[in-house]
Amino acid sequence: MKRWIYFGMLMVIAIMLVNNPLTNRYVLSIKTESIQVAKIDHSLKSEITSRAKDFEIPANDAKIDKVWKAMPGYNGLKVNIEESYKNMAKQKRFDEQKVVLEQVSPKIHLNDLPPSPIYRGHPEKPMVGFIINVAWGNEYISSMLETLKKYNLHATFFLEGRWVQKNPDIAQMIVAAGHEIGNHSYTHPDMKILSASRTREEIIQTNKVIKATTGITPKWFGPPSGSFRDETVKIAAESGMGTILWSVDTIDWQKPSVDILLNRVLGKVHNGALILMHPTESTSKSLDTLIRSIKEKNLQIGTVSEVLDEKRMMKNNLNLGDAKNKSTR
């Protein structure tokens, strides 16, 4: 009986609340506010979607260029609608500084191309790489490593197999410093006139020596003096290696002065440049200034693998500068 009395009282209270003008106004207010919020949400998402094209950049596929041969691709940029909305939801209005961009991979990658020499990275990537060919010059290697360490930079050292056998401690020191290792043949021959069997022998033997000494299997092959033929590139590819040349040369083996070397490089340096050098007195003395001067040009410095990587260089978290300037490229 008591339960029925309580139930009746609750029903009466519910009816009074439903018929109460204040209650109705409160409920109506909530409904109205919900509708307004929903409209703002929809409007904001629609604006983000419609303006996405202003910030997006298509990915560039890797290709075989008539001049530069194999060219790596470069990631594009796409607006993440949901994350951008979350960034702007609190202020309930569009803010280009809160647009969230994500990188989009190309459809064709460097590995998809037929074997072809590589001279440079993508022309839109603001990074250069140091190629250091080593078959001699032991006395300058330590100072060059110290300079690179000073700026927390890594280069790609292409090591001659015969040199590695004679200098395992130096080879291990280069690896311990975090640098990338490439194959520079075993006896530094002219690969252009070498038979196919001798070419394989030079490449395979060097890989074996480098692997046994450092534990690393090189992914890049640098033909001595830049001399090669198409068959050389194909044979290197059989061993899983890309053939690396360069687009800027220090010509440091001619023992140029510091000023001449710097002018030679800085006058030609560009996005995606691969810069050839050796462990020489000229390069050792020039390296510190060269690094600072390249950085002043807003270029980063990395290994061959980093330069050729498709990852877009991010100026900031959103990379809006790249997106806004896309029409100038």
Per-domain boundaries in the chain: 1-109+324-329, 116-308
For residue 14, the model assigns a pLDDT of 53
What kind of fold does domain 116-308 have according to CATH?
TIM Barrel (3.20.20)
For residue 313, the model assigns a pLDDT of 80
For residue 246, the model assigns a pLDDT of 98
For residue 66, the model assigns a pLDDT of 95
For residue 42, the model assigns a pLDDT of 75
For residue 30, the model assigns a pLDDT of 45
**Model pTM?**
0.83
For residue 316, the model assigns a pLDDT of 47
- Using 70 as the pLDDT threshold, list the residues of the chain that sit under it: 1-41, 314-329
End-to-end CA gap in the chain: 84
For residue 328, the model assigns a pLDDT of 35
Cβ neighbours around 190 below 10 Å, total: 12
